[in-house]
Amino acid sequence: MWQEERVEETEVLMAELEGLEFGKSDFVLLDEVNMEDFMGNLKLRFEKGRIYTFIGEVVVSVNPYKQMDIYGKEAIDAYRGRELYENPPHLYAVADAAYKAMKRRAKDTCIVISGESGAGKTEASKYIMQYIAAITNPSQRAEVESVKNVLLKSNCVLEAFGNAKTNRNDNSSRFGKYMDINFNFNGDPTGGHINNYLLEKSRVVQQQDGERNFHSFYQLLRGGSEEMLRTLHLENDPANYVYTRQGAGSATSNNDRSSHKAVLSALNVIGFTAEEIESIYRILGTILILGNLQFETDSECVQVVAPEAVGHIAELTTTESDSVAKSLLFRTVATGGGEVIEKGHTEKEACIGRDAFAKALYERLFGWIVGRINAVIEVKDYNPVLHGKNTVIGVLDIYGFEIFDNNSFEQFCINYCNEKLQQLFIELILCQEQNEYQREGITWQHVEYFNNQIIVDLVEQPHKGIISVLDEACLTVGKVTDTVCLESMDAKLRQHPHYTSRKINPSDKTMEFHRDFRIRHYAGDVTYSVEGFLDKNKDPLFQDFKRLMYNSSNPVLKEMWPDGQLGITEVTKRPLTAATLFKNSIVALVDKLGCKEPYYVRCIKPNEMKSPVLFDDARCQHQVAYLGLLENVRVRRAGFAYRQPYARFLQRYKMTCEYTWPNHLMETDRQAVEAIVTQHCFQDDVAYGHTKLFVRTPRSLFTLEQERAALIPILVLFLQKVWRGALARMRCRRMHAIYAIMRCYKRFKVKAHFWEVERRFASVRNMADYGKSVEWPMPPAALAEFHTITQQLHRRWRARQIVKNIPPSDMAEVRAKVAALGVLAGERKEWGCCRPWERDYLANVRDCPQSSSNFVRVSKELREKDSFNQVLFSGICRKITGLSVTAGSDQMVALHTSSQDDVLFYIQRGEFCPNQDRVGELLGTLSDHFTRVRNTPLSVKVCCSSVKLHMRGKPKSVTVETKDGQTNADFRKSRDGFTLLIPSN
């Protein structure tokens, strides 16, 4: 009864999102779980344009075969951060669910996209990648945008070189691709890694009717420029080349010309250099020219029909023409005795070798391109301690189940891969889930399902499986044919319920004797033609071609063929077969997927006509049956949407209950979880296991998430408050400690400075220079001012000690020199401080022998008349209309007047002392006199260039020039005033 109420409640919720005229948005909501109702709902939704439907967290996708306007920015915004059932079913919903699970629980997730060829897997993977790129990196960091751009652009390149038109699909993946996207703790992509599986390289040399070779060949031939094609010795018609002739006339929805431009742009964005891009297309050109090579027998020797093509191949691969021809026509063989001989090919052997070489060239080119992309997008300089946990979302886009008219080795491997993936789906969705219910003691009605492990064992079981039989046949010495291998398979597998052949069942005329065998796959019976199985499994390629490519001057080619460095006698170990290598890679892939939380997109092909309106009921029902979707609905309908260990559930939701926050006091975590459930009234929607809580509907979980989301900001604020308080207290204690240490250290530094000063200056009284030569220690910052005062005190004390020994008669000269030193302030280099200052030079007979007597007489008369005490300074000067002061080594001085009628004069040097500088003496004497007698300082200005003054109120400028041939200093008028010309010596 409760189950019906739950279904009705969820049905109402879904009805709000999509009207009931579109059917049920989730197959779990079907009234009856049977094939008829399932198919009716699927068909109704397809016809109404609803191509996506949920089975819980599994998305069922039907290929619409038309462009649909449901993938724009508005759709992305609608699904970002929302729960699965809040919006109509969509690829974006499952992509967001995988992203949220990865980000919330720091758990690796993966999205497995499965379905048969043409069901829309590749398009689904591209939309998922676009969605993840759109919702990440909101801060638009450049490095993250670069990673996203490369991840998206890689799809374009891999499709060009790995996809082809088949009869079922215009853009069929002919290789398997699994991409891991790495995310940092912020949920932004930091890199990725691409694994490729089993490129269908046989398509390079041969395609079925109506199919094409890989897109890259047609894009080059139809989209390449004339210059590029001319350089590659190609023409722009695919019909001119054997390898592309089959698909040249096939209609396709892809535009090869525009696709070629997009691929070139993508290669540049990813980071391929111009030389690498050129090498890629050189290899494509080489393959096309190889396909046109023909051989003929001439005198029992095989020759190339058109030798100029060999030269073109040599040019494109940067090898020697002779070496190319030799590799095509001969095979180097090592005998048992170590002797090396050359064995000529027959025409058939030469053709086989040519095709094998072409296939190997393309396969290694594709592998190199994938490796080059991985080198660009791989996570670099990752440190878990610094960058946090690195989580991963894996996206698997791998070829779907294939049943053709002629099924060969490639279809066998592809269908085996699909068996493994289906087995993983059964293991995780149907088997493990039901086993967990039993293990946890949950009441459960077991749902029956087909476990295809028996088919997987048929293919891969050691010593008994088909791959083991193929490998054994390849390793057997002697001529073992495909027919002999088939007989060996019949003998070992005749009792297996999923294997048969014409020999085992002679009445089945749909198979041929000695050619066909049939496997009952989960998706249907497939008849395989054993012809070519052994050659494709052995994957033969003569060592001569490997050495030829390794010896190429092109570094890209050389890098692709590292095994070519081995000599013919060094190749001893037989390589693993193609089937074994593929099996190992698929087993590793399944292991990788098994350790992640899986999300599924199950793709369905509605018809074989690629029609947007046709729904083939029988075809779709067959796919629904072999995909196990009905069983999936039953398990999901009867099961639980969510399960979590008690401790983890409690850790996430304990803040929503008063009895569990911040920590509960109950005996067990289960009792605490029960308290949370009871408080939210979810008792009827949960079941308690031994170690886990099981929740039936997503709505209960969503209610908890909503309440948790509302409480998180409150808790964050509380934690911030507590933490900020703790930080403040820590900071306060730290500051107290810092200040205490600083105080002690400062006291120590002060005392240490005093001790050092005392030590250095202890005996300065007995020094000749009274401590002038003693270097002062660097003071601490606190004593900077005190240090300056102490130095001044020492200088004054030292000056006092020196002055005490000067006779009183010399004190006037000392005072004058001190005054001159003060007023010049160190701006004049020469000022006569090292000589005695005589002051009255006009009265000195030695200095002025002709005028001294006359000056003495005149000064005596003035003294008697004006009663002045003494002459402060006298010297010969040439008086003009004004005076000024200079700052050079000349003797020009300016005296300014308050009436702006200044005096400019030049002190003439004495005849016997021509190099004496008397300006300092004049300034010192006047300054000392002004300070002592007039009790006012003398204002002195030292000019570095011209001297500015006023004459009769008008501004003048006086400059000083040195002139050759000038005997005496003299003034000359200039445009701005005057120029003092002084002798050059």
Residue type, 198: L
- Catalytic residue check, 40: no
d(Cα 237, Cα 288) in Å, to the nearest integer? 12
Cβ proximity of 908 and 851 under 8 Å? no
Residue type, 601: V
Neighbours of 850 (CB within 10 A): 8
Q: Has 553 been labeled as part of a binding site?
A: no
Residue 53, classified by CB atoms within 10 Å of its CB into exposed (0-12), middle (13-18) or buried (19+), is buried
d(Cα 363, Cα 737) in Å, to the nearest integer? 70
Which residue's structure tokens are 């990725």?
192
Containing 895, the helix (H) or strand (E) segment is: strand 892-895
- Catalytic residue check, 527: no
Q: Which residue among the candidates 61, 117, 415, 527 is catalytic per the annotation?
A: 117
Q: Has 472 been labeled as part of a binding site?
A: no
| Residue 654 CA: distances (Å) to CA of 640, 657, 659, 678, 708 | 21, 6, 8, 13, 9
d(Cα 566, Cα 773) in Å, to the nearest integer? 81
- Catalytic residue check, 851: no
- Catalytic residue check, 335: no
Reading across the β-sheet that carries 499-501, which strands appear in turn?
Answer: 499-501, 516-521, 524-529
Residue type, 306: A
Neighbours of 624 (CB within 10 A): 21
| Closest-CA residue to 193 (of 213, 177, 208) | 177
Q: Has 119 been labeled as part of a binding site?
A: yes
What region, left, alpha or beta, does residue 908 occupy, with left being phi > 0 and alpha being psi -120 to 50 degrees? beta
Helix 347-377, helix 543-550: angle, nearest 10 = 50
Q: Which residue among the candidates 114, 163, 172, 213 is catalytic per the annotation?
A: 172
- Catalytic residue check, 169: yes
Q: Which residue among the candidates 176, 247, 400, 875 is catalytic per the annotation?
A: 400
Q: Has 118 been labeled as part of a binding site?
A: yes
Phi, psi angles (nearest 5°) of residue 137: 55, 60
- DSSP H helical segments within 680-761, as ranges? 698-760
Q: Residues with Cβ < 8 Å from 388, sequence gap 6 or more?
A: 184, 185
Q: Has 165 been labeled as part of a binding site?
A: no
d(Cα 654, Cα 651) in Å, to the nearest integer? 6
Q: Which residue among the candidates 53, 114, 169, 327 is catalytic per the annotation?
A: 169
Neighbours of 962 (CB within 10 A): 13
| Residue 153 CA: distances (Å) to CA of 165, 372, 723 | 21, 13, 45
Neighbours of 939 (CB within 10 A): 9
Q: Which residue among the candidates 63, 173, 468, 925 is catalytic per the annotation?
A: 173
Beta bridge mates, 761: none
d(Cα 684, Cα 541) in Å, to the nearest integer? 66
- Catalytic residue check, 173: yes
| Residue 221 CA: distances (Å) to CA of 106, 293, 330 | 48, 18, 31
Q: Which residue among the candidates 211, 402, 419, 531 is catalytic per the annotation?
A: 402
| Residue 791 CA: distances (Å) to CA of 421, 651, 748, 763, 797 | 90, 71, 21, 16, 10
Q: Has 120 been labeled as part of a binding site?
A: yes
d(Cα 274, Cα 279) in Å, to the nearest integer? 9
Neighbours of 961 (CB within 10 A): 13
Q: Which residue among the candidates 23, 118, 628, 832 is catalytic per the annotation?
A: 118
Cβ proximity of 827 and 885 under 8 Å? no
Long-range CB contact pairs, 137-145, < 8 A, 24+: 137/188, 137/189, 141/188, 144/188, 144/189, 144/190
DSSP string, 91-114: HHHHHHHHHHHHHHH---EEEEEE
- Catalytic residue check, 338: no
- Catalytic residue check, 122: yes
Phi, psi angles (nearest 5°) of residue 161: -100, -10
Cβ proximity of 841 and 875 under 8 Å? yes
Coil/strand/helix, residue 255: coil
Per the annotation, binding residues are 115-122
Active site amino acids: 117-118, 122, 169, 172-173, 400, 402
Per the annotation, binding residues for ATP are 115-122
